[in-house]
Structure 1
Amino acid sequence: MNDDDLERERAAAHPASAAVPSAVPDADLADLVALGAFVDGELPPGTHAAMQARLDSDALAAQRVRAWRAQKAALQALSRAGDKAGEGESPAWVVLRRRDPWWQRVGVAAAWAVAGAGFATAAASLLPQWAPQLAGHASAVVASEGANAGDNEGANFARRADVAYAVYSPEVRHPVEVGAADEAHLVAWLSKRLGRPLSIPPLGEYGYTLVGGRLLPGATGPAAQFMYQNDVGERLTLYVSASGRERDAVHLLRDGSRRTFYWSTDRMGYALSGPDSEGRLRNIAYEVCGALGGTSAQW
């Protein structure tokens, strides 16, 4: 549940005041700021421990922390890409961060909440515009697993898959749009939107079961994301979209603790993202590639 969901719930509970914006109570503002300081690691040690204990019993606060951490991870991924793209050139943007003590931000907490949501939306919409800047620096984040690892289309495709993984894999209540219980509907729906018959490869051999999937915007059209999870809560995502290339070898993109193996088969692009150890995730990627029409020549 995000802040928009909370606002809709409050409006439903108080329809008479729904049309009139109201000030956020000071206690709520202070609580939002304290949660933000916790996410940024700015609370004193004693207060940090108390907040961690509170999150074990406060489901709403814990959900907010998980959502903010997911947004932060996605924005950091985009920022790292921009830093690489700006080497030797004027930076594409400047990131400013306040260093004031957290308690001084109480008066502007509501404004920061709105600005943060708007910036996340803007960052996602600007990603295609950064793609040309990333073209000359793809080798800095892509480890070659074949002859065409520096291909611009493939690198940008992998970056989109990596960001989508960073955003949705931490979600607790809404990780997917359609759950695994409606797998047949999920496959039919996404196949229709992408204009190609899709299939979901089983990963039970590796301990992962399907959570579900969702529709996402791709570089030139719709994309699909399928999510898997194992018994300890680790997640993998398979990102699928149309590709301009007939067949590419499996390549690797590294970003922090995340890994994305990506390739194309029959003019469809695939990317498997996860936090797993690189060797094990590579084996799963090869298995998925073969299940989706690939051949051993691609790895």
Structure 2
Amino acid sequence: MRGRFGKRDLRPLSAFADDELSATERVTTLARLAADPGAATRVSNYRAQKAALTVLFEDPGDDAHCILVRRRVPWWRQAGVAASCMAVGVALGSSPGWVSANFATDPPVFAERADIAFAVYAPEQRHPVEVAAPPRDQLVDWLSRRLGQRLSVPSLRDYGYSLIGGRLLPGESGPAALFMYQNMAGARLTMYVAAVPKDATAFRLFRNGNRSTFYWGSRGTGCALTGLVSTVQLRSMAIDACSMLGRAFRSREASDSLNP
């Protein structure tokens, strides 16, 4: 029966979350996750927990700069970022309809704009992006300047998607950024980034026809991942993306603490 696992069944799921499977085992497990929402949910929770623990207990290594950063960042701030990542995992892993009181029941404007942006630009063959990803840093720097905040772009290579570029879009109250990913089969995903109220922290699924969007807010920035993939797969990618963005945010805070 789906959703019930013995210890032997859990081992490949745990190994998948820790990237410990061989190429053949990974393909087999991916097929299992696509067919079994219960297994996919468990992997999502494993990865969210791992990300949270990594943020909280990350080894600074031998680099003196890293050690200094770790001393300057308060423990409660590390715990806050870790708890945020854990909340994403629990929310998206256990109930795709979960939402905090800080976002209304209806999808916020930025999530709807993310859905529309995907519908308009993802099918485009000649000009899907305004600026190509290579060189990646130039793309991120340009959009960061236009949005007035330092942006980070999560990697989705574990899922077979590579960043191909991005574009500047009008948001509800200012500029917004759209990053586009594509896999070897030509399927695309988009990550939409825009300003949201600072107390908006929901993690929620929004569907429009055959398109699915997972969106969340953190510290005044809203992110939305949109695609034509299953909600199970998109949920896992959204958890990973949020975890990566949380680590990037912590890194920026640490850097800022050294340069007040």
Match of 2:207? 254
Note closer, same or farther for the CA distance 1:232–1:205 as it changes in structure 2 (3 Å cut).
same
Say whether 1:293 aligns with 2:246: yes
Matches within 5 A, 1:121-136: none
Whether the 8 Å CA contact 1:144–1:150 is kept in 2: the answer is: no
Identity, in percent, stands at 51
Question: Which structure 2 segments of 5+ residues have no match?
Answer: 1-95, 248-260
Q: CA RMSD in A?
A: 1.8
Instruction: Report SS of the residue matched to 2:201.
Output: strand
Instruction: Report SS of the residue matched to 1:197.
Output: coil
Matches within 5 A, 1:232-247: 232-247=185-200
Q: Which amino acid aligns with 1:287?
A: D
Match of 1:221? 174
Whether the 8 Å CA contact 1:246–1:268 is kept in 2: the answer is: no
Whether the 8 Å CA contact 1:154–1:263 is kept in 2: the answer is: no
Q: Deviations over 1:222-259 (max 9, x none)?
A: 00000000111110000001111335131010011100
- Bigger relative contact order (CA 8 A; separation at least 6): 2
Instruction: Report SS of the residue matched to 2:135.
Output: helix
Quick one: distance in 1 between partners of 2:137 and 2:234? 26
Instruction: Report SS of the residue matched to 1:220.
Output: coil
Instruction: Report SS of the residue matched to 1:262.
Output: strand
Quick one: distance in 2 between partners of 1:153 and 1:194? 25
Normalised by the size of structure 2, how large is the TM-score?
0.56
Q: Deviations over 1:60-118 (max 9, x none)?
A: xxxxxxxxxxxxxxxxxxxxxxxxxxxxxxxxxxxxxxxxxxxxxxxxxxxxxxxxxxx
Match of 1:205? 158
Matches within 5 A, 1:86-125: none
Q: Deviations over 1:173-219 (max 9, x none)?
A: 10001101121111111000100000111110110001100000000
Quick one: distance in 2 between partners of 1:209 and 1:199? 15
Note closer, same or farther for the CA distance 1:191–1:150 as it changes in structure 2 (3 Å cut).
closer
Note closer, same or farther for the CA distance 1:270–1:280 as it changes in structure 2 (3 Å cut).
same
Note closer, same or farther for the CA distance 1:202–1:181 as it changes in structure 2 (3 Å cut).
same
Quick one: distance in 1 between partners of 2:200 and 2:112? 19
Whether the 8 Å CA contact 2:122–2:128 is kept in 1: the answer is: yes
How far apart are 1:152 and its partner, in Å?
A: 7.0
Whether the 8 Å CA contact 2:103–2:200 is kept in 1: the answer is: no
Whether the 8 Å CA contact 1:146–1:250 is kept in 2: the answer is: yes
Quick one: distance in 2 between partners of 1:193 and 1:246? 23
Instruction: Report SS of the residue matched to 1:284.
Output: helix
Which of 140, 143, 149 is the aligned partner of 1:187? 140
Q: Deviations over 1:141-172 (max 9, x none)?
A: xx732233851785221111000000000011
Match of 1:177? 130
Question: Which structure 1 segments of 5+ residues have no match?
Answer: 1-142, 295-299
Say whether 1:281 aligns with 2:240: no
Instruction: Report SS of the residue matched to 2:193.
Output: strand
Quick one: distance in 2 between partners of 1:247 and 1:239? 16
Please say which structure displays the higher CA radius of gyration.
1
Note closer, same or farther for the CA distance 1:178–1:153 as it changes in structure 2 (3 Å cut).
farther
Quick one: distance in 1 between partners of 2:199 and 2:103? 16
Q: Which amino acid aligns with 1:148?
A: A
